[in-house]
Structures are given as structure tokens and as C-alpha cells.
Amino acid sequence: MCGIVGYIGHREAYPIILKGLKRLEYRGYDSAGIALYDGTDIKLSKTKGKVADLEERLEKEISTTGTLGIGHTRWATHGVPNDVNSHPHYSNSGDLVIIHNGIIENYESLKKELIKRGYTFKSDTDTEVLVNLIEDVKKKEKTKLGKAVQIALNQVVGAYAIAVFDKNKPNEIVVARLGSPLAIGIGEDEFFIASDASPFIEYTKNAIYLEDEEMAVVRRHKGIKIRKIKDDSLVAPYIQELQLNLEQIEKGGYEHFMLKEIYEQPSAILDTFRGRLLSNEAIIKMAGVEDNMKKFLNANRIIIVACGTSWHAGLVAEYIFEDLARIPVEVEYASEFRYRNPIINENDVVIAISQSGETADTLAAIKLAKSKGAFVFGVCNVVGSSIARESDAGAYTHAGPEIGVASTKAFTTQITVLSLIALRLARAKGTISSSDYRTHLLELELIPGKVKTALESDAYVKTVADIYKDAKNFLYLGRGYNFPVALEGALKLKEISYIHAEGYPAAEMKHGPIALIDENMPIVVIATKKGHYEKVVSNIQEIKSRSGKIIGIVTVGDKQVKELADHVIEVPETIESLTPLLTTIPLQLLSYHIALMLGKNVDQPRNLAKAVTVE
């Protein structure tokens, strides 16, 4: 969580950092701050609130000149969001200034030591401890900033991406990473530092992604020196050419990123299977799967680890893998898996699903799985992310940047990749007939068009949203492949509208949630033609007899549910395993419209962050 940006070069740093922070706000947005240095005075301004609040205040407070600068947008861990706890933080002498994404776990013991040595602290943050630790080392060892950072970090337990500069060294910024991402953009005689490449994409396509336990001294005119924090060995910089473009990270005429990303799903799904699904030849080509086919085929079971929406995609995958490829699957919250001493060995395949590729719990879960000998396959969206790199093999979703905090296209593209893998394995194992296999491929190819059709319900979904926007609770029900979709629909509504919502398997309703049903309870029921249709219709009857309000998600042309439900939203027909790709669409739109009507910040819901890089 938290976004960091830095610049050193020949341009004014302020506009670059400000724009960069706006692009990184998805990482956290409870407070923000910027420090600029023109070689004479450090100018620092920070505030609780969003980057726009900072902008308003900063320009009144300080002069914005300086060709060196660092900025931060925060998601609070240690210390409530307020002006003082916002970054950047000064060291006691006022010489060092730092920004930090991550958590210093042993900050309390370090702080006690520093207090004994006479240091004082203004904030409650672990970051202020770190900058003073660096200062202390620098003074004690009479050493340069880079060395002091290195010695200090060797005393630190936790996770960090940091950028720090020294008033006495106006031509250098020192950066380091462990567990939180850090990219360095390389321009002509200028360098950009950021949590991801989006802040500098219009300036350079060349970037270095620091690896864990690496640090770099970035010097104006002189370039970059990368070292291992532990053993001081030099690392040859590996410069990557970025594939990202500006258009992908802008709203492109949509009011919100979330809406843009919902509407991007037809093309995102197409991009996910482009070049992998060759329906004429009835072939699925995925290098990561082919190269490791034996591992998959000999696996005792597949364990899927993920968090949030990605965990829901994992649940859908459980149905797909077991149904088509007949491989036993367990789906685990990464945060639980990592701490419960799981029984796992070299005969297990672990699939880690993560949009950002940076979720701390998922990363820790795969490290644990690897240490026990399991083969780890990553399904990530962000190319070059930590989980992608830590995995033994993997497949990207190729959804393009997802910026809205509520995940949408990541979910459907993850299901697409996982469907491809399951189908490929089913074919290799012979658990699917060649005609069924062909049908699946052809149907998958039709999905982008069908998602487009599903999006046509938008205006109607909006009228439904208007009717139920003031409800205090929602229930979402689904069965089989659409049970995880019910969970995802409820999560979307909670995340952005703050309305309490629960997802349930439709048949479980009678074991508890049915007690909640009265005339004020809207219940979204996924009742597509394939998959336990008659049973779900019975569940709808049960709701009806208790006066609940029913919003049915049905297959086009449905008659039975239409007669019972208060509203029906149609989606095109497809084979059962692919229905989640269509039924999800109206649920995304419903939560979007309700949140918007309630005046909520759709792209930046309270308390949430897009990439959760802390436990």
C-alpha cells in the first residue's frame, strides 16, 4: 500500500511528482505529501486527504521549485491518517527526508534505542524511526547516505520501498526495496522513481525494477549503482522496455476507472486468450503450462492461493478444474494458508492468483509452498510483479492496467486464463471428449461478444439501482459455478457503496440468511438456464413467500424467473462453466450505479487500497 514517487534531473520535479501521485492514488489515498529540493532549501508539504487536497494546500504553502523531489500517497498502517503521520518525514537534524511504502516491524525496539540516544519523534510512524536510524548510523559511522541506508536496513525487519535524500547531497536519491515494489525510470540525464511505472510512462520507456534486498544510489549526471543490501555486492542493472502506454492509464472519456474497466472486459478477455486459443486447430498454447505439463498431470492436487476478488476467481477455477480436468482443487485464503502449517509437498501444484502480483499474503503463501517443494504457477496481471517473478512458471492475464480499486476486468480475465489451463489439462488427461473440448473453445471465443451484449443491460441495471440504492442490506445467491459470482457481487457492493451485502450458495439460504428476509431485503439471485436452474427457482419461491425483493440474473428469453422476480436482468446463453464471465457483468454495474447514486467515491473507496503489500 502507499505509492511513492521521486524525480532527479533537469526538469521541475513538482509537476512530475504531483501527476505521478495522482496515478498511484489507487495504492492508498488517506494522506499525501511532497518534498522538493532546489539545492538550497527543502520545501515540504503534507496533509491528510487526497492528492488533490495536497495540491490545493501545497501551492499556497511552499514554492514549488526544485529539480529533486519525492512524494507519497498513504494508506495508513502505523498512526492514524493525519498531517503529522503523512510522509515525507524529516530526520531530527532536518537533513534527511524519506518516503516509505511498507512496514518496519521492529520499529518499536529501534525507536526505544533511538530515544535513549536523544532522538525525538513527532509522528507515530515506523517511517520516522527508519529515517532517524539512518541518520544515527550516518553520524556514528561517519559515512555517506548510501552506506548509512544499507547499514540501517540490515537492522530492520519488515517490508519497504523507500526513497531518501540528504540536504548535503543535492544530486542524489537513495532507494531500496524489500517486499514492496520499486521501479526506476531512466531518461536522458534524469531518473524517475515510483511504485510502478505509471508516473513516468510519458517520459521514458526504459525502467529498472529493483529486486528484493536491493538498493540503488541514483545520481544526477552520474547514473545508478545497484547493490545487494546484505552483502554489498554490485548488481548489473537490467533495463526493461515498458509495454505500458499513456492511454491505458487514463480514463478515456469514462467518468470513472471502474466503469472504463467494466467496459473494457470484451477486449480484455480477447487479449487474454489471443494467441493462446487457436480454435481452428483446436489448440490451446500456453508456454507456462506446456513446459510444466508433467507437474500438472502428476499433481496430487492443485492448491489455489489468493485474496479478495482473486480468491473468488480461484473458487470459480475450483469448479472448472474439478469438472473438466478431474484434478482435486483446494482454494485457500493466502493469509490463512501461510500461517496454518499446511500439509504440502513436491506433489502439489500451487496456483497463485493476483491482479497486482504484489499482495503480501499471497507472496508469503507461495514462498512457503516453494520452501516445501511445491511447484508454483502464478496468474498475475502486472507484468514483472513480485508474485510473477517468485513463481516457478505462470501466465499473465493481459488485462491491461486496472486502476479502479474495485476489481472488475481482473476477475473475468483471471477466469479466462484459468479456463484455458483447465481445458488444456483436461485435453491432456483425456477427461474431456474432443467434441466437448471444441465446443468449449468455440464458446470461449464468443465470450467477448457476449460480454458486450451483457453490457447493454447497463441502462436497465441503473433503474434497478435507483430502486434499491437505499437498502441497508443485500443478499446475493448463486449455485455451482455462480456461487463464487454471488460472493463477488456482494463484495463489489460492499467495497464501493458501503452497503452490507452477503453472498451465499442459494441452497444454504435456509440455514440462516432466510431469517433476514422481509419486504426490505433485496436479493440478487443468479438463475441462469444451465446449472441447477430448477433448484434455484425453488429458492426464489422460498424468498417470494417471505416477501423478499428479487433481482434475477437470468439467461436471455427466461420465462419462469421472470414471472416470480421483481426485476430480471438478462445475459446471453453460454455453456455452464463460462456463465460467470457473463453473470458478473450486471453485478459490477449494479454496485457501480448504487455507489454513484449514493455519492461515494467509486474509484477510491474508503479504507481500501488496490495493492495490499502489508499483512
Residue among 313, 309, 314 nearest 332 (CA): 314
Residues 594, 602: Cα–Cα separation, whole Å: 10
Q: Which is nearer to ligand G6P, 310 or 419 (CB)?
A: 310
Q: Which is nearer to ligand G6P, 73 or 310 (CB)?
A: 310
Q: Which is nearer to ligand G6P, 356 or 555 (CB)?
A: 356
**Which DSSP letter does residue 179 get?**
B
Residues 492, 502: Cα–Cα separation, whole Å: 10
Q: For 187-257, where are the E strands, in sequence order? A: 191-194, 206-209, 214-219, 223-228, 234-235, 240-241
Residues 28, 19: Cα–Cα separation, whole Å: 15
Residues 192, 169: Cα–Cα separation, whole Å: 17
Contacts of 25 (CB under 8 A, 6+ apart): 3, 50, 51, 73, 604
Residues 257, 262: Cα–Cα separation, whole Å: 8
Residues 145, 164: Cα–Cα separation, whole Å: 9
Residues 18, 5: Cα–Cα separation, whole Å: 9
Q: Which is nearer to ligand G6P, 198 or 359 (CB)?
A: 359
Q: Which is nearer to ligand G6P, 414 or 539 (CB)?
A: 414
φ and ψ at 435, to 5 degrees? -75, -40
Burial 460-481 (b: 16+ CB within 10 A, else e): ebbebbeebbebebbbbbbbbb
Q: Which is nearer to ligand G6P, 527 or 612 (CB)?
A: 612
Query: What is the distance, to the nearest Å, from the Cα of residue 290 to the centroid of all Cα atoms in its chain?
Result: 27
Residue among 132, 141, 142, 182 nearest 159 (CA): 182
Q: Is 2 noted as a catalytic residue in this protein?
A: yes
Q: Which is nearer to ligand G6P, 64 or 386 (CB)?
A: 386
The minimum distance between CB 131 and ligand G6P, in angstroms, equals: 28
Residues 37, 594: Cα–Cα separation, whole Å: 44
CB distance 175 to 193 below 8 Å: yes
List the end-to-end C-alpha distance of the chain, in Å, as a whole number: 10
Q: Which is nearer to ligand G6P, 88 or 357 (CB)?
A: 357
CB distance 234 to 214 below 8 Å: no
Residue nearest to ligand G6P (CB): 308
- Which residue is associated with the grid cell 489451463? 421
Q: Which is nearer to ligand G6P, 138 or 494 (CB)?
A: 494
Q: Given 43, 169, 494, 610, which residue is catalytic?
A: 610
Q: Given 2, 48, 260, 307, which residue is catalytic?
A: 2
For residue 545, give the 3-state DSSP assignment: coil
Tell me which residues touch ligand G6P (CB under 6 A): 307-310, 354-356, 359, 362, 405, 407, 608, 610-612
Residues 319, 478: Cα–Cα separation, whole Å: 13
| Residue 170 CB neighbours (<10 A) | 17
Q: Which is nearer to ligand G6P, 132 or 407 (CB)?
A: 407
Residues 21, 9: Cα–Cα separation, whole Å: 18
DSSP, residue by residue, 556-578: TT--HHHHH-SEEEEE----GGG
Q: Is 144 noted as a catalytic residue in this protein?
A: no
Pairing mode, strands 191-194 and 183-186: antiparallel
Residues tagged active-site: 2, 610
